[in-house]
Amino acid sequence: MIRIKNVRKEYASGLVALDGVDFRIQKNEFVYLVGASGAGKSTLLRLMFRSEHPTEGEIFIDNFSLNNLKEKQVPYLRRSIGFVFQDFKLLPKRTVYENVAFALRFYNYSRSRIRRQVSQVLELVNLSSKMHHLPSQLSGGEQQRICIARAIVNNPPILLADEPTGSLDPDTSWEIMQLLSKINARQTTVIVATHNKGIVDDIRKRVVALEKGKIIRDQQLGAYDA
Amino acid sequence: MIRIKNVRKEYASGLVALDGVDFRIQKNEFVYLVGASGAGKSTLLRLMFRSEHPTEGEIFIDNFSLNNLKEKQVPYLRRSIGFVFQDFKLLPKRTVYENVAFALRFYNYSRSRIRRQVSQVLELVNLSSKMHHLPSQLSGGEQQRICIARAIVNNPPILLADEPTGSLDPDTSWEIMQLLSKINARQTTVIVATHNKGIVDDIRKRVVALEKGKIIRDQQLGAYDA
Amino acid sequence: MRHLAFFISEALIGIKRSALMMFIAVVTIMVTLLVFGLFLLMSANVNNLAQFISSKLEVRVFLNETITRRDIEDFQIKIAQMPHVKSVIFVDKKDAWALFKGSFSNMTLSDLVSENPLPHALKVVLSNNEYIKDVAMQISTHKEYSSDVAYGGVIAERMSAFSAWLSFVGVVLVVFLTVATLFIIVNTIRLTVINRQDEIEIMSLVGATPGFISGPFIIEGLLLGGGSSFISMVLLRFFYDFFARRFQEALPYFPLVFQSSVLNEIYFFVFLLGAILGVLGAYISISKLLKETV
Amino acid sequence: MRHLAFFISEALIGIKRSALMMFIAVVTIMVTLLVFGLFLLMSANVNNLAQFISSKLEVRVFLNETITRRDIEDFQIKIAQMPHVKSVIFVDKKDAWALFKGSFSNMTLSDLVSENPLPHALKVVLSNNEYIKDVAMQISTHKEYSSDVAYGGVIAERMSAFSAWLSFVGVVLVVFLTVATLFIIVNTIRLTVINRQDEIEIMSLVGATPGFISGPFIIEGLLLGGGSSFISMVLLRFFYDFFARRFQEALPYFPLVFQSSVLNEIYFFVFLLGAILGVLGAYISISKLLKETV
Ligand SMILES: Nc1ncnc2c1ncn2[C@@H]1O[C@H](COP(=O)(O)OP(=O)(O)OP(=O)(O)O)[C@@H](O)[C@H]1O
Ligand SMILES: Nc1ncnc2c1ncn2[C@@H]1O[C@H](COP(=O)(O)OP(=O)(O)OP(=O)(O)O)[C@@H](O)[C@H]1O
Ligand SMILES: [Mg+2]
Ligand SMILES: [Mg+2]
């Protein structure tokens, strides 16, 4: 369970990206985060991932406040959260395989288990054939799919996806969203920040809409527009 | 006028990204380039921009073959083409203003003229208030809009846009596409690679569809799907 | 153990995929250590020269003509018990005169002075030549044995001061050079690490602990520093062997350092310094970067 | 002109926005040039010492007791006309004996040898001491004037060879150090430029000509190299003034270099080298990167 409690985020530049944001996400829920460009979606996701700190308010994950999280524990938090970054954040000098495998290196998995898991997930996003390419040798959509593969490779209990279909054509987008739904059905809380009206309207789920850093709508089985 | 003549592109990895691509684009035309992820859209745009070279075939811009273009002339070609990069390619240590102004530095424009043009174009993409931010301090959609602003700031005769609305919400996407249409009306050839079915279906223009590096459809006032 | 293997393989990938940068860093570190090693070798030789000069200094006690062999032996024991005295050797006047004539062979001294004018003498060697004047004074109080004590006078004092200064300058330079080497190597490694700041941030974002991120970089620093210093060690050895041999042939009397124990110590120190600074540089840079990235 | 202003402002932005990296580079370059400058100063002093040693060498011609003043003057002229001879000075035997006794003040030589045993002599100074033996030989053929010619013998030859070697080693070291400095500075600048490879690619993509991209980097190299070398110049000057004064106080007879013309030349050279290598480093790295990015 994720609890966002009265969160305000003001960046060093003075810009207020989030203000009075307060809501809960149940275990195994699937939530769309929508809102115009600059509304604060990515900021909110980053706060849950603890790559930003709230200026005010608190965020609880499984009743544990991130404010009380020690610096040393942050990596372990992050291992339990899959994150699809809006700007991919792939290691530029590692191959597709190495990028995805990186997230499994922390565990004492055998070499063959790592190979199996990575191959499976690359199959899921349709990139098995590009396994030994560097990110710079891939198309935009392919890079995005590696990022998705990396986020889900170890079946994390929480998945945060920031615009995961921004570089994908409608068919591939559809497949990826089906994949996320399937993952959600297997006991993973999924939060997707997206602009993809088609998807939100077709695969109906809870919709949280942001506008200028404030929640303006929170609707079960909502559509993209109010 | 742009003429793509029987172009084949094989990357060093052996992957054939384009094969037998052959078509013309008239002056002041507006063309959508559509196709699944990895179909070769970005590759085709990069060939016209001469940041990649065709393995076979030739590309003519205003009847001038890019194959014959000398290395020294490449910067001048690029100044006459606005390019919205799929991965933005913003200078990370320059502010929004500096990033956009950079494209005007080559001309002997007065300081005040540069300031005026940059301000105008930032107004168009709704980013005047973020003028002195660094790219890392912007949201994904904001970064994309700077990239658009930089591409159009000097009214180039050709505009190549690679997925210019991938990080934008539907309303902003709509505004940006209207902007590109307006620019097209002002004597600019515009080619947009996009996955945005909604836009392509609503603002009908010529559609060129790629599949695995081959043109499978070339239709005036076409829709996203055949 | 599993981690170490992982760190090494990651470090090798890092080096391979940033080949140009690594090459530049290796050349820089190698050149720096070459300069440093050269300085060490020079300083060892300067020190050796200082000692050599110093060892040539002695107090010469001209004995009174009248005293007996017994007296001489008593006096020898007395002197030997004085502080800072290392050895006291009897020099027969015949030997002394022969030597004296020999070293002034060009001056026909023997023509001018036909009879041996020199008395018997004692040669007193000190353990520390700074006290040469004091010891000479103390000996000269024993008028019953000797009325003439020579210690090279001004020349000896100068030589002693000069050799002390030589050693001091050597130490200062080695300390300075060590600091300079440290700066250059650590900074070079830092530049290669800063270059991959984005990578470090990404690793941290996908859940890598600081230790996990640092590991490969530190191994990389070790390989970079150790590899470069190994090359400079080999070059240094080759260079010194070649050059010192020439030098010695041209100036056979010059006290060059050839003991392989001293030289090997220097070579090994250069190697060790490279490896340590490589690790240190990586450690410093990576810690700083990790503190900056959340 | 417009472009130059643009390049400078871009270079300043580049330096400001990559402050840490620039700071590291400046420290590295500064330290390198400090070492280099120190070496130059040492080498100037070693050279000076070599000259000093050399200048102390002379040929001493002991004149026969029987010849007249006229003969002596004739002989002086003859010697002065020999090759490599710089000056010929008459030394009265009284002066020579006083000096001799003085420098051996501790040996009671005057007690042993009551009468002045030395003859009149000529002091011959050469322009190049390599030929000291040849000149001595040539003089000694004139048996009618002198039957005894001394030139310090083995000692003189050793001194002369040693001073020649000192100069040679100095030159070798300066050349080597110059190359090392070049490598380190150029490489440091290269690492700072490689760091911004992406930026360079982006600039090229938005239509910047190679010249336009390079301009700011080259100015940046100039500022970085020039700035660092300026700091090391000032430090070097301060350091040498301080240290050399101490040294000279302790060893007043040692021939240290104090001519400000020589020193300023060294300081200026250090500054110039820093500035030039900064530009060179930037130029090399940027050209290579531009060739790689399409
Ligand atoms: N590091 C930062 N420093 C200052 N302002 C920032 C920073 N990061 C984001 N912002 C600002 O905070 C606001 C919200 O940004 P955020 O990235 O959360 O938007 P978003 O909803 O994800 O937008 P998009 O759909 O365009 O990605 C924006 O106005 C942005 O300019
Ligand atoms: N530098 C490269 N080296 C090797 N293969 C490459 C390189 N760049 C692209 N490719 C491959 O070429 C194919 C076409 O890539 P391109 O970027 O043109 O696709 P795209 O149509 O733009 O896809 P997307 O919609 O995902 O951006 C892809 O399969 C991609 O993996
Ligand atoms: Mg965002
Ligand atoms: Mg693309």
The model's pLDDT over C34-75, given as tens digits with 9 standing for 90+, comes to 999 998 998 888 888 877 877 777 888 888 888 888 888 888
Residue B10, H or E segment: strand B2-10
Q: Which long-range contacts (CB under 8 A, 24 or more apart) does C235-240 make?
A: C235/C30, C235/C34, C236/C34, C236/C37, C236/C38, C236/C41, C236/C266, C236/C267, C236/C270, C237/C263, C237/C267, C239/C38, C240/C41
Report residues near ion ligand 4: CB below 5 Å: A 139-140; B 42, 86
**Neighbour count for residue D139 (Cβ, 10 Å):** 23
Ligand 2 first shell, C-beta below 6 A: A 130, 137-142, 167; B 11, 13, 15, 17, 35, 37-43, 86
Q: Left if phi > 0, otherwise alpha if psi is -120 to 50, otherwise beta: which for A221?
A: left
SS3 A54: coil
Mutation choice for ligand 2 from B4, B21, B37, B43, CB with most ligand atoms inside 8 A: B43
Interface of A with B in 172-191 (CB under 8 A): 172-173
List the one residue out of A225, D186, D294 whose CA is nearest residue B74. D294
- Superfamily of domain B2-80+156-222 in the CATH hierarchy: P-loop containing nucleotide triphosphate hydrolases (3.40.50.300)
Q: Identify the weakest region by mean pLDDT among A70-84, C15-29, D60-74.
A: D60-74
Mean pLDDT of chain A: 95
Question: Looking at the CA of A16, which ligand is closest?
Answer: 1
CA distances from B17 to A166, B33, C141 (A): 21, 15, 103
CA of residue A117 to ligand 4 center, whole Å:
27
Residue pair B186/B193 in contact (Cβ under 8 Å)? The answer is no
The rounded distance, in Å, linking the Cα atoms of C3 and C41 is: 40
Q: Quick one: pLDDT band at residue B222, thresholds 50, 70, 90?
A: very high
Q: Quick one: pLDDT band at residue D6, thresholds 50, 70, 90?
A: confident
Q: What one-letter code names the amino acid at C98?
A: A
Instruction: Identify any residues that bridge with B60 across adjacent strands, giving them in sequence order.
Output: B3, B65
Out of C28, C150, C161, name the one closest to residue D251 (CB).
Answer: C161
- C189: pLDDT strictly greater than 50: yes
Q: Which residues of chain B neighbour A32 with C-beta distances below 8 Å?
A: none
Q: What one-letter code names the amino acid at A8?
A: R
The rounded distance, in Å, linking the Cα atoms of C12 and C32 is: 23
Residue pair B167/A195 in contact (Cβ under 8 Å)? The answer is yes
The rounded distance, in Å, linking the Cα atoms of D284 and D270 is: 21
- Give DSSP secondary structure letters for C211-256: HHHHHHHHHHHHHHHHHHHHHHHHHHHHHHHHHHHHHHHH-TTS--
Protein residue whose Cα sits closest to atom 3 of ligand 2: A137
As a whole number, mean pLDDT of residues B196-212 equals: 96
Protein residue whose Cα sits closest to atom 11 of ligand 1: B138
Cα-based angle D166, D168, D173 (whole degrees, multiple of 5)? 95
The confidence score (pLDDT) of residue A72 equals: 92
Interface of A with C in 95-114 (CB under 8 A): 98, 102-103, 105-106, 108
Cβ–ligand 1 distance for B137 under 6 Å, the answer yes
- C117: pLDDT strictly greater than 70: no
CA distances from D168 to A105, D43, D50 (A): 58, 10, 10
- From the CA atom positions of chain A, what is the Rg in Å? 17
Q: Which residues of chain D neighbour B85 with C-beta distances below 8 Å?
A: 205
The model's pLDDT over C224-233, given as tens digits with 9 standing for 90+, comes to 999 999 999 9
- D55: pLDDT strictly greater than 60: yes
The rounded distance, in Å, linking the Cα atoms of C202 and D17 is: 21
Write a three-state SS string for chain D: CHHHHHHHHHHHHHHHHCHHHHHHHHHHHHHHHHHHHHHHHHHHHHHHHHHHHHHCCCEEEEECCCCCHHHHHHHHHHHHCCCCEEEEEEECHHHHHHHHHHHCCCCCHHHHCCCCCCCCEEEEEECCHHHHHHHHHHHHCCCCCEEEEECCHHHHHHHHHHHHHHHHHHHHHHHHHHHHHHHHHHHHHHHHHHCCHHHHHHHHHCCCCHHHHHHHHHHHHHHHHHHHHHHHHHHHHHHHHHHHHHHHHHCCCCCCCCCHHHHHHHHHHHHHHHHHHHHHHHHHHHHHHHHHCC
Q: Which residues of chain D neighbour C117 with C-beta distances below 8 Å?
A: 112-113
The confidence score (pLDDT) of residue B133 equals: 96
Half-sphere exposure (Cβ direction) of D191: Cα atoms closer than 13 Å: 34
CA of residue B41 to ligand 4 center, whole Å:
6
Cβ–ligand 1 distance for B140 under 6 Å, the answer yes
Write out the two tokens for B26: 């008239």
- B206: pLDDT strictly greater than 80: yes
Out of D17, D203, D207, name the one closest to residue B79 (CB).
Answer: D207
Backbone angles phi, psi at C243, to 5 degrees: -70, -45
Find which of B131-135, B222-226, C248-252 is predicted with most confidence, using mean pLDDT. B131-135
As a whole number, mean pLDDT of residues B24-48 equals: 96
The model's pLDDT over D220-274, given as tens digits with 9 standing for 90+, comes to 999 999 999 999 999 999 999 998 888 888 888 788 888 889 999 999 999 999 9
Helix axes D19-55 and D153-194, enclosed angle (nearest 10): 170
As a whole number, mean pLDDT of residues D265-291 equals: 93
Q: What one-letter code names the amino acid at A150?
A: R
Which stretches of chain C sit within 8 Å of chain A by CB?
Answer: 2, 6, 13-14, 17-18, 198-199, 201-210, 212, 294
The confidence score (pLDDT) of residue B28 equals: 94
- Of ligand 1's listed atoms, the one at least distance from the Cα of A210 is 21
Q: What per-residue string of b and e applies to D12-25 under the rule 16 or more CB within 10 Å gives b?
A: ebbbebbeebbebb
Burial class (CB in 10 A: 0-12, 13-18, 19+), A186: exposed
Report residues near ion ligand 3: CB below 5 Å: A 42, 86; B 139-140
Q: Quick one: pLDDT band at residue A24, thresholds 50, 70, 90?
A: very high
Residue A83, H or E segment: strand A81-84
B194 reaches A (C-beta below 8 A): no
Termini Cα distance of chain A = 26
The rounded distance, in Å, linking the Cα atoms of B77 and B48 is: 10
Write out the two tokens for C119: 């008395």
The rounded distance, in Å, linking the Cα atoms of A167 and B163 is: 7
The model's pLDDT over A176-203, given as tens digits with 9 standing for 90+, comes to 999 999 999 999 999 999 999 999 999 9
By residue count, chain C amounts to 294
The confidence score (pLDDT) of residue C152 equals: 66
Chains that touch B (3 or more CB pairs under 8 A): A, D
The rounded distance, in Å, linking the Cα atoms of B44 and B54 is: 9
List the one residue out of D229, D153, D215 whose CA is nearest residue D184. D229
CA distances from B76 to B83, B160, D203 (A): 14, 16, 13
Backbone angles phi, psi at D90, to 5 degrees: -80, 130
Q: What percent of chain A has pLDDT over 90?
A: 96
Q: Which long-range contacts (CB under 8 A, 24 or more apart) does C199-205 make?
A: C199/A91, C199/A92, C199/A93, C200/C286, C200/C289, C200/C290, C200/C293, C201/A89, C201/C293, C202/A89, C202/A90, C202/A91, C203/A91, C203/A102, C204/A75, C204/C290, C204/C293, C204/C294, C205/A49, C205/A51, C205/A78, C205/A83, C205/A85, C205/A89
The rounded distance, in Å, linking the Cα atoms of D217 and D15 is: 10
Q: Identify the weakest region by mean pLDDT among C125-129, D70-74, D213-217.
A: C125-129
Chains that touch A (3 or more CB pairs under 8 A): B, C
Q: What percent of chain D has pLDDT over 90?
A: 38
Chains that touch D (3 or more CB pairs under 8 A): B, C
- C171: pLDDT strictly greater than 70: yes
The model's pLDDT over D146-202, given as tens digits with 9 standing for 90+, comes to 877 777 666 667 777 777 887 888 888 889 999 999 999 999 999 999 888 999 999
**Neighbour count for residue B113 (Cβ, 10 Å):** 12
As a whole number, mean pLDDT of residues D117-124 equals: 80
- Give DSSP secondary structure letters for B147-169: HHHHHHTT--SEEEEESTTTTS-
By residue count, chain B amounts to 226
DSSP B73: G
Q: Quick one: pLDDT band at residue D64, thresholds 50, 70, 90?
A: confident
Longest Cα–Cα distance in chain C? 98
The edge-to-edge listing of strands for the beta sheet with D146-150 is D85-91, D121-126, D59-63, D146-150
Protein residue whose Cα sits closest to atom 12 of ligand 1: A17
- D72: pLDDT strictly greater than 80: yes
SS3 A3: strand
As a whole number, mean pLDDT of residues B147-158 equals: 96
The confidence score (pLDDT) of residue C105 equals: 47
- B223: pLDDT strictly greater than 80: yes
Write out the two tokens for D252: 């007043």
Q: What percent of chain A has pLDDT over 70?
A: 100
Out of C17, C18, C205, name the one closest to residue A51 (CB).
Answer: C205
Q: What percent of chain C has pLDDT over 90?
A: 38
Out of B90, B92, B103, name the one closest to residue D207 (CB).
Answer: B103
Mean pLDDT of chain C: 85
Which domains, and CATH codes, for chain D?
2-53+157-293 (no CATH), 58-151 (3.30.70.3040)
Q: Which residues of chain C neighbour D20 with C-beta distances below 8 Å?
A: 194
Mean pLDDT of chain D: 85
B9 reaches D (C-beta below 8 A): no
Given the structure tokens 């018990």, which residue do they identify? C81
CA distances from C175 to A51, A88, C182 (A): 44, 48, 11
Could you tell me the pTM of the whole model? Answer: 0.87
Mutation choice for ligand 1 from B88, B138, B175, CB with most ligand atoms inside 8 A: B138
Find which of B191-195, C95-99, D113-117 is predicted with most confidence, using mean pLDDT. B191-195
Residue pair D6/B105 in contact (Cβ under 8 Å)? The answer is yes
Mark yes or no for CB contact C294/A52 under 8 Å.
Answer: yes
The model's pLDDT over C16-40, given as tens digits with 9 standing for 90+, comes to 999 999 999 999 999 999 999 998 9
- A223: pLDDT strictly greater than 60: yes
